[in-house]
Amino acid sequence: MPSGRKRSESSRQAILEATRSLLLEVGYERLTIDQIAARAGVGKQTIYRWWASKGEVVADAALDDGVTPHPVALPDTGAIRADLQTWLRQWVTDITTPEGTGLILALTAAGSDNKTLADRLYTQFSAPHEDRIRDRLRRAQSEGQLRADADLESIASTLVGALLYRVLGRNRPPTTQDADHLVELVLRGAEA
């Protein structure tokens, strides 16, 4: 029977919020646990008690934030190309804001350092996007809009990867127009 004081939800929130704000101010590499604790008004041990590393805190901070995993399902108006464009345009807008780009850079750095964390970040951040796209593609395929032999996994992965690559490159962040072109490029050959 577990006794003892319960985990403080307010501390948990304060830590994640402090992490998010510091991430935008100083970036992942210069982010320190000391800073997070100080800004959150929390003892360092309270962070170490519940998270194994800076990367874990950052991951939770990003994923806890409603914005990032962007749970919006793809629209289904019947026109696959338009629906994909609508959705990707919105996603590009989100990830090219300072907040969005900052979180992506932070999560990438975090994942670079830690395979376990990289897996978790892929599963919770990238995979849901790919899944949503693939599901919508599958519907289109069953409706005969896409060829039966189109590699839907590959299309979804390429769409997400190509845009993230431009965000990570930093000098040519993707635009909504880029999103449109990209959809055209990869769909052209897949359409029936």
Q: Does 157 interact with a copy of itself (rule: CB under 8 A)?
A: yes
Q: Does 185 interact with a copy of itself (rule: CB under 8 A)?
A: yes
Q: What is the rounded distance in angstroms from the CA atom of residue 103 to the CA atom of residue 84?
A: 24
Residues 2-41 as x/- pattern, contact with DNA by CB under 7 A? xxxxxxx--xx-x---------------x-xxxx-x---x
Element housing 135 (H / E):
helix 127-142
**Residue 107: C-alpha distances to residues 15, 30, 141, 168 (Å):** 17, 14, 33, 11
CB of 120 to DNA, least distance (A): 17
CB atoms near residue 177 (< 10 Å): 10
Interacting partner of 11 out of DNA, a copy of itself, none (Cβ under 5 to 8 A depending on kind): DNA
Q: For DNA, which stretch binds (CB under 7 A), given 47-55, 71-79, 100-108, 172-180?
A: 47-55
Burial (0-12, 13-18, 19+ Cβ within 10 Å), 103: buried
- In the region spanning residues 103 to 132, those forming contacts with a copy of itself, defined by CB under 8 A, are 105-106, 108-109, 111-113, 115, 118-119, 122, 126
How would DSSP label each residue in 151-165? -HHHHHHHHHHHHHH
Q: Which residues bind a copy of itself (CB under 8 A)?
A: 27-30, 105-106, 108-109, 111-113, 115, 118-119, 122, 126, 151, 154-155, 157-158, 160-166, 168-171, 178, 181-182, 184-190
